[in-house]
Structure 1
Amino acid sequence: MPQRIIPRVNGPRVRIRTLILGGAFFATIWYLLQGLKLGDVSLESVRLEKHMNSGPLSHPYKFVKSSVDWGKLTPKYPPEKPFTPLPPAVSSRRIPKLPRVQHQFGPETGEFHQKRHNRRVAVRQLAVKSWNAYRTYAWKKDALLPLSGAGRDQFSGWAATLVDSLDTLWIMGMRDEFDEAIAAVAEIDFGKSTTPNVNIFETNIRYLGGLLAAYDLSKREILLQKAIELGDLIYAGFDTKNRMPVDNILLGPIKAGEGLQVEPQVVSASPGTLSLEMARLSQLTGNPKYYSAISRITDLFHAGQNQTALPGLFPMWVSMSKGDVISGNTFTLAGCVDSLYEYFPKMHFLFSGAEPKYLALTRNFLSAAKKYLLFRPFVPQNDDILMAGNRNVDIQTNNPYPIDPETEHLACFIGGTYALAGRLLSSPEDVSVGAKLTRGCVYAYKSFPTGIMPERLNMAYKSHLPKGFTTAKDARYILRPEAIESVFYMWRITGEQEWQEAAWDMFKAVERGTRTEKGAASVVDVTVQPGDIEREDYMESFWIAETLKYFYLVFSPPDIISLDKYVLNTEAHPFLRPAV
C-alpha cells in the first residue's frame, strides 16, 4: 500500500489539534490496556482477528486445473430449465428479520479471562501437534496413522485431513501452515480418484465444505476455484433419469457421458446433507444450478414429512430412485439420519427465513422427535437429562414399538440443533430441551472411567430397571465431535458457565485418552481404567476439522465465528451468511 504524503502545515491550530489528537490517542491506549488487564473480550478479539485476517502469502501457489472439467461434460439427462432461483438473502416485510442467536456477552473478569485464555492455548497446542504429525507422516493423504507413523487414503485420495483442516488452521492463526496447505490444495486433481467411485456425502461435507469455509474466511480465490471444480463433480452426481443424486458417483460412466443409475435405497442423510454446501456455492458463484439441484430434494422431503409412519420424522432408509422418503419403519436421530435434521434449521438460517419449507421441516421434526425419540433415563441422582433413542414401527399395524433406549455419540449433535432452532424459532422450550440433551451427553462422558463417552450405549428408562447404563455396545471413542459440538452451541447461545467447565473436563479426558507421540489416536475401550487404555492406529480428519475446533471456539472470544454471522455445516465448516 503506497505511503500517504501529508503536507506540512505550521500554525497554532495545527499544534493544538495535534496535542488534542495525541492526548486522545494515549488515552485510548491506556483504556485498551486497562481493558486487557480486566480481560476485555473485544480487545482480545481484535488480536485474534489480526491472526485471522488475510495477509501476504508465506508459500506461493499456482492453480492447477483438474484433468477433467466436470462442468463442461454433456449430461445424459439434462436438467429442466429455468433453474430454481436462490431465495432472496435480504429481510423485508414478507420476510421478518430472524432473532439474535448468540448470547450477548459482557466484559470478563481478569481471573476468568486468564483461565479461558490458558485453556484455549492448551487446545491450540494439541491441534498444532496433531497437524505437525499429519504433515510429517501423512502429508496429502486422507488420514494419519498415528501409531505406525504413516498415511492412509479412504476418501478418493484428495488429502481429506488437509482440506478438512483448512479453516481450523486459519481460525487458530496458523498462517504459515494455512498457506502451505493451500499450495497443496492447488495441486489436487479432482479428475482422478484412488477409488472408481466417489462418495457424494463425504465429498460434500469434508471437501466442498472445507474449501467453501476456508474461502469465506480468507478470500483466497484459489479455494473458490477448487470448490467450483468439486461442486461440478457433485452436480454430475445428479445426472440420473429423475435428477435425484446417487450415493456413489461412478467416474467412468460420467466421463463417458452414460449418466448414472440411482441406488434402490440410501440412508436418508446422504441426499439430505447436500443442501447447505450446494446452496452456499450458488450464493458465492451466482450460478443457481447447484441450489436448483438440491431444491428438488428439499421439495421431496417437504412433501412427504407428514406421511411417514412417525409423522414429522423420516425413516433411516429412503429411495431416491423411486422418490420415496415415506416408506420405512426404523427411525433415529443418530447415524444414517443425523445431519438430515441438522440442516433443516441451518438452511432456514442461511436464507434468513426466505424459504418457508425449511421452517416447516424444522418445526415438524422438533415436535415429532420430542414425541417419539427423546427419553429421560433413570440415573442414580435423578439428573434432569434427556437422551435420543430409536423407534421401530410394526409394518402390519403401523403402530410404533416402545422406544429403544440405545443412543450413539453421533446423536449428541441434537442438543445443539435444538438450541439453535429454538433461538431461530423464538422457542425457549426447545432451547431448554437442547440443554437437557447436551447435559445427557456430558453425563455420559463423566460416567465412564476414562471420562469419555463410548460410540454406542444403552440406558435404562423404565422404572423396573436398575438406574443408569445397561450396555456399552460399542466401547470405542473414534475422536468424534458431536458432544463438544452441542456444548459449544449451548455456551454461545446461553452464556452459562457450566458449559465451559464441562468442555474443559471433556478436553482433559479426551487429550489424556488419545495421546500418542504422533498425533492423536482412537480409543479401543473407554470403559477401562485410564491406565489400561489401548489405542487404534487411526486419526480421522474430523479430529482437527471439528473436535479440536469446537474445543478451541468454546474458549475463544465469542465474536470469533459468531453464531449470528456464520452457519456451520455438519463438519464444523463456517459459511458466512449473506448480509441481511
Structure 2
Amino acid sequence: GGLRGATVVDALDTLYIMELEEEFQEAKKWVEKSFDLNVNGEASLFEVNIRYIGGLLAAYYLTGEEVFKSKALELGEKLLPAFNTPTGIPRSLFSPCSGMSWSWGWASAGSSILAEFGTLHLEFLHLSELSGNPVFAEKASTSQGGVMNIRKVLNRVEKPQGLYPNFLSPVTGNWVQHHVSIGGLGDSFYEYLIKSWLMSDKKDSEAKKMYDDALEAIEKHLVKKSAGGLTYIAEWRGGILDHKMGHLACFSGGMIALGAEHAGEERKQHYVDLAAEITNTCHESYARSDTKLGPEAFRFDAGTEAMATRLSERYYILRPEVVESYMYMWRLTHDPKYRQWGWEVVKALEKHCRVEAGFSGIRDVYTTTPTHDNMQQSFFLAETLKYLYLLFCEDDVLSLDDWVFNTEAHPLPVNH
C-alpha cells in the first residue's frame, strides 16, 4: 500500500536544475497521468510532507507548471486529519484514503516525534499561500488545531535544560521521555526554526528566538571535543551523555553556518568556527573509512574517534547530510577544501555504490569489497546529488538569499 513514485517526485527539481529536460518531461508526464493519491495503506505524515509535498512545491516554483501546484494542494488536504488530536500535535501515520491517523508502534506511549511534527512549517505555509486557505498555516502554527499551534504547545511545555526531547504526547502535550538528539528523531526540527525565519524574510522572530535558545542549550550541554580535538554533538538520555553522532546529525554544520550569517558580529565568527569544526568531524568519519564514505553513526569512546564501533552502524545508505554541510560551508567561506571533500565523495560513490541500474547503499564502509543493499533511496536523487551539483555551481544557482531548502533539499522561495 501507500503512495507510489517517491523517486520520481523527489527527483523533479534535481532534473530541472541539472537541465535534464527530457527526463524532466517524462517525470512530469508521470505526475500528470499516473500519480494516484487515493491509495489504501499507511503513509508517514513527515515523509509525505518533505518528499512529495516539498518536491511538488519546488517543481511548481521552479517551473510555474500548474499540475505540480494542484497535486501538492490535493495531497496537502489529505494530511489535515492527522492533526485532529487533543493538542493539535499530529500523529505520525495516516491513511490517504480513510483519513484515519495513528502513532508509530515503536514510539513510546503513542507519542509523536519532534523531527516529524517539527518539520511541517515551511511546506504548510506555502500550501496556505497557494490555496488561500489559512488552515495549513494554522496547523503548522498558533490557532486551535493549527502548524503555529505546534509552536504554542512547544513554548508552553517545560524544556529540560532548555533542550527539546524527541518524544511528545499528542494527547497531553507533555514529553514522554527525555532523549535529546540532533540526529534522527530531533534533527530537522532545529533546521526548520532557522529556515522559517529566513523564509519569512526574517520577520518570523518567534522562530529565530526558538532557534537561538535551542542552539545555546545544545552548545552548553551537547557539544563536546574529543581527546583528538574533534568537535561533535553528543546525544542526551535523561541527563546522561551518549558520545555518538549519527550521520543524520551531520546536517548541523550546514545549519549552524546558515544561522551564523545572521548572528551578531561577535557571535558570527564563533558560529562559523563551530560549523567548520563539526563539518570537519563529519569529514573525518568519511576519511577514516576504507571506502571514503561515512558510517550511519560514529562514536567517541574507548579510544575510538569518528568511527563506527558496532556492526549495526557501519552501513551507508547514500545519505546527503555530510555533502549538504560541504555545500553550505563552501557558499559561506569559499574554502576550496569543501569542493575537494565533495569530489572525494563523488569518486567514492562511483567506485563503491554505482551498480548497473543506478546506485546502491553499502553494508559496511570499512571494507573495500562492500556488499550492496540493493536500495537506491529517493533522497539520493533529491538531496545527495543535488547538493553535490550545487557545491560545484556558481553561488547564484539557487542563491541562498532567495531560496530555502526544505529538509529533503527541495528549494522553496523566500517571501520577499
What TM-score does the superposition give when structure 1 sets the normalisation length?
0.66
Q: Residues 108-507 of structure 1: matches in 2 within 5 Å?
A: 156-193=2-39, 195-251=40-96, 253-254=98-99, 260=101, 264-295=110-141, 296-304=149-157, 307-311=158-162, 313-324=163-174, 326-379=175-228, 382=229, 385-393=230-238, 400-401=239-240, 403-426=241-264, 427-460=268-301, 465-466=302-303, 468-469=305-306, 471-473=308-310, 474-507=313-346
Q: Secondary structure at the match of 1:525?
A: coil
Q: Is the 8 A contact 1:240 1:260 kept in 2?
A: no
Q: Secondary structure at the match of 2:14?
A: helix
**Hey, what does 2:408 align to over in structure 1?**
571
Residues in 1 aligned to 2:400 and 2:342: alpha-carbon distance in whole angstroms: 18
Q: Secondary structure at the match of 1:375?
A: strand
Structure 1 residue 189: deviation in Å? 5.0
Q: Is the 8 A contact 1:341 1:362 kept in 2?
A: yes
Q: Residues 59-138 of structure 1: matches in 2 within 5 Å?
A: none
Structure 1 residue 261: deviation in Å? 6.1
**Hey, what does 2:347 align to over in structure 1?**
508
Residues in 2 aligned to 1:363 and 1:375: alpha-carbon distance in whole angstroms: 19
- Give 2:391's match in structure 1, choosing from 540, 543, 554: 554
Task: In structure 1, list runs of 5 or more residues that go unmatched.
Answer: 1-152, 394-399
Amino acid across the alignment from 1:248: L
Q: Is the 8 A contact 2:85 2:170 kept in 1?
A: no
**Hey, what does 1:91 align to over in structure 2?**
none
Residues in 2 aligned to 1:533 and 1:292: alpha-carbon distance in whole angstroms: 48
**Hey, what does 1:525 align to over in structure 2?**
364
Structure 1 residue 409: deviation in Å? 0.6
Residues in 1 aligned to 2:134 and 2:379: alpha-carbon distance in whole angstroms: 30
Q: Is the 8 A contact 1:406 1:459 kept in 2?
A: yes
Structure 1 residue 192: deviation in Å? 2.2
Q: Is the 8 A contact 1:244 1:262 kept in 2?
A: no
**Hey, what does 2:372 align to over in structure 1?**
535
Q: Secondary structure at the match of 2:409?
A: coil
Q: Pairwise CA RMSD of aligned residues?
A: 1.8
Q: Is the 8 A contact 2:119 2:189 kept in 1?
A: yes
Q: Secondary structure at the match of 1:535?
A: coil
**Hey, what does 1:39 align to over in structure 2?**
none
Given the superposition, is the C-alpha separation of residues 190 and 241 from structure 1 closer, same or farther in structure 2, using an over 3 Å criterion? farther
Q: Secondary structure at the match of 1:363?
A: helix
Structure 1 residue 210: deviation in Å? 0.1
Residues in 2 aligned to 1:471 and 1:167: alpha-carbon distance in whole angstroms: 34
Residues in 2 aligned to 1:243 and 1:518: alpha-carbon distance in whole angstroms: 43
Q: Secondary structure at the match of 2:397?
A: coil
**Dislocated runs of 4+, deviation >6 Å:** none
Q: Is the 8 A contact 2:254 2:324 kept in 1?
A: yes
Residues in 2 aligned to 1:548 and 1:231: alpha-carbon distance in whole angstroms: 27
Q: Is the 8 A contact 2:292 2:348 kept in 1?
A: yes
Q: Secondary structure at the match of 2:197?
A: helix
Structure 1 residue 505: deviation in Å? 1.3
Q: Is the 8 A contact 1:346 1:567 kept in 2?
A: yes
Amino acid across the alignment from 1:525: D
Residues in 2 aligned to 1:213 and 1:497: alpha-carbon distance in whole angstroms: 29
Given the superposition, is the C-alpha separation of residues 388 and 561 from structure 1 closer, same or farther in structure 2, using an over 3 Å criterion? same
The number of residue pairs the alignment matches comes to 399
Structure 1 residue 285: deviation in Å? 3.1
Q: Please tell me whether Structure 1 or Structure 2 has the larger radius of gyration of its CA atoms.
A: 1
Amino acid across the alignment from 1:232: E
Q: Secondary structure at the match of 2:299?
A: strand
Structure 1 residue 262: deviation in Å? 6.6
Cα deviation, 1:544-575, whole Å, max 9, x if unaligned, reads: 11001100000011100111110000000000
Residues in 2 aligned to 1:330 and 1:322: alpha-carbon distance in whole angstroms: 18
Structure 1 residue 167: deviation in Å? 0.2
Structure 1 residue 391: deviation in Å? 1.2
Residues in 1 aligned to 2:27 and 2:179: alpha-carbon distance in whole angstroms: 42
Given the superposition, is the C-alpha separation of residues 452 and 497 from structure 1 closer, same or farther in structure 2, using an over 3 Å criterion? same
Amino acid across the alignment from 2:160: A
The answer to which structure, 1 or 2, has the higher relative contact order (CA under 8 A, 6+ apart) is 1
What TM-score does the superposition give when structure 2 sets the normalisation length?
0.91
Q: Is the 8 A contact 1:240 1:262 kept in 2?
A: no
Residues in 2 aligned to 1:557 and 1:184: alpha-carbon distance in whole angstroms: 31
Structure 1 residue 309: deviation in Å? 2.0
Residues in 1 aligned to 2:186 and 2:376: alpha-carbon distance in whole angstroms: 24
